[in-house]
Structure 1
């Protein structure tokens, strides 16, 4: 095996990856998973392998396996969505569960603030990804700049590990967070909707709030303050109005993801036609 990374236990290394896939270095370590760079030698392409170490037994093991199965089902529903990081294959070997995706480039926060054309591109792509997810009855649950990546030069939405399937199946964590804790369900300060900090579960409306706060960060290059909506007036006028609508404190007053995608498309057309002032 090639480089095994620093501080990665044996349980985090899959033993039954498809033939031809070789692990390289660790490129990310989170509370619940490790992400490896890998190479598909048969097809000559780079991949990412997300690995969830499976505890030896008990409730923690059950929750880890449930979260893995949940994420694979969510991504299966989105197999044809053009702006969602696709799942190529997945499996487990008893000591860990793993998912293989194309290797995408760094997250949005590292690239912000974006030029207007790039900002509109990201806004359109991620709104389209959310529209597709909600149409498939999948709530992402943690829309933040860290989960917007670039694949072959185009932005994609990634990491559905905390998603909610509208069948009533909730996303799970394996880091010991209590199920009632907002942080256990992806409530990231700055990008999480206000109701999430009051204990509400993720919904389509909270995804839309996360999208608005994420686009604000993409344009401004800063993290939104605390649990309050992002300040207005710092983005180009049309985008500012869309973000303001998405970050409305009252969930029922926010537009749907489909409406957001349509509003962004309208802003793109307006600028292409008239090229007004920012």
Structure 2
């Protein structure tokens, strides 16, 4: 059982181990296994994440990818042409490279055009696996999942053309104002619905976060960036295959590799363990908590502290920051954020059912309240007179 003392001890051990050389650290870890065996797994996870190339623990994989591609190939300017796509303007640096607003000159529509890192050209097997999984993502036909129009290559430049979403990310929306609970519930249901469709097709997203959720002006939510998505085995366990494509900038991954964005990782993801759809359940639980509370459930000053919190610490009760939130929604989040994935929702579908049931119950209650006849002023006057 995690305690404030064990948290402090874990952090102390991490800082001690981080400052040691390989041989000294090996001896140090051996002593830790003898004296604090219950902390060894978490400590090894923190050290492994800390030593990712390019300071990976402090830099989300998408940002790292964008920085790499920005150095590797020149930015395009308005008017330039890539195949039948004409560049209109840069949209920013997203997962898997530079993203541009472009015009599809064949179909006369706007698209978001992503140019993939040149590393894909140098790793044929990696590129093949990426295309395989991108095709799987493109087969998803769901209103809450971004549509992939085309995957191609022109002059050794690999690209992905997706629908252009004219809206704002959930991250941007939360920065502007606190969401009303009705909006929180609506967004939650739409994102869960998208993930249910992805999981049914054998895809685990692995990087659910507010930056990867967009909302159009008409209220429709779109889940973006399946750049870390994994095909799963067609088995009851739906475990992630060994061919990890998400780390295209670091070659092939293997057990122990940490993928995703630290603040939204599941405990098993932080440990580099084999993942299944329950990792998306946990990440979505973090997003739900953040929308409702206006703060992160595992708020921390550094990425290392965030990992420690995700692995060891329970989030503050939601009612401390949002007392108006229904108790049932708090229960849903609490179940989604169980550190032991066996105690979590076992499928996104189960979580979605609870969200929809809550929405129906709240809607019924509201209708019931509206159906009550208003108290007449005459009746009030009569009762007052009778008591005087």
Q: TM-score, normalised by structure 1?
A: 0.83
Matches within 5 A, 1:17-36: 17-18=83-84, 21-30=85-94, 32-36=96-100
Q: What does residue 248 of structure 1 align with?
A: 338
Bigger drift between 170-179 and 237-246 goes to: 170-179
Q: Give me the whole-angstrom Cα distance separating, in 2, the residues matched to 1:143 and 1:221.
A: 17
Q: Which one has the largest radius of gyration?
A: 2
Structure 1 residue 67: Cα displacement = 5.5
1:126 is matched with: 191
Give me the whole-angstrom Cα distance separating, in 1, the residues matched to 2:286 and 2:280: 10
Matched, 1:106 2:190: no
Most deviating of 203-212 and 97-106: 97-106
Identify the match of residue 292 of structure 2 among 201, 219, 223.
Answer: 219
CA contact (8 A) 2:213 2:223 kept: yes
Residue among 269, 272, 282 paired with 1:209: 282
Do 1:11 and 1:54's aligned partners in 2 also have CA atoms closer than 8 Å? no
Instruction: Work out whether 1:89 is the aligned partner of 2:89.
Output: no
Q: 1:174 to 1:94 in 2, by over 3 A?
A: farther
Question: 2-side partners of 1:134 and 1:56: how far apart?
Answer: 26
How far, CA to CA, are the matches of 1:185 and 1:158 in structure 2?
17
Structure richer in helix, relative to its length: 2
Q: Distance in 2 between matches of 1:56 and 1:11?
A: 16
Alignment of 1:69-218 (within 5 A): 69-78=131-140, 80-104=141-165, 105-112=167-174, 113-151=178-216, 153-167=219-233, 168=241, 169-176=243-250, 179-180=253-254, 184-186=258-260, 188-218=261-291
With over 3 angstroms needed to count, the CA separation of the structure-2 counterparts of 1:9 and 1:123, relative to structure 1, is: same
Contact 1:185 1:202 in 2 (8 A): no
SS in 1 for 2:250: coil
The number of aligned residues is: 265
Matches within 5 A, 1:42-57: 43-55=107-119
The alpha-carbon distance between structure 1 residues 221 and 22, as it changes in their structure 2 partners (threshold 3 A), is: farther
Q: Residues 84 and 56 of structure 1: is their aligned pair in 2 closer, same or farther, counting only changes over 3 Å?
A: closer
> Structure 1 stretch 106-115 or stretch 154-163: which is displaced more?
106-115
Deviations 1:218-266 (A, max 9, x none): 2233333223354322441332211111011110111110001101101
Structure 2: distance between partners of 1:45 and 1:153: 21
Deviation at 1:184, TM superposition (A): 4.7
> Structure 1 pair 148/40, CA: closer, same or farther in 2 (3 Å)?
same
Structure 1 residues 56, 134: closer, same or farther in 2, change over 3 A?
A: closer
Task: Find the aligned partners of 1:108 and 1:199 in 2 and give their Cα distance.
Answer: 27
Structure-2 change in CA distance of 1:259 and 1:27 (3 Å):
same
Encode CA deviations 1:190-217: one digit per residue, 9 max, x unaligned.
2111111112133201110011111112
Contact 1:90 1:100 in 2 (8 A): yes
In structure 2, do the counterparts of structure 1 residues 254 and 36 end up closer, same or farther at CA, with 3 Å as the change threshold? same
After superposition, the Cα gap between the structure-2 partners of 1:75 and 1:121, relative to the gap in structure 1 and judged at 3 Å, is same
Shift of 1:97: 1.4
Equivalent-residue separation in structure 2 for 1:173 and 1:23 (angstroms): 27
User: Where does the alignment leave 5 or more consecutive residues of structure 1 unmatched?
Assistant: 1-6
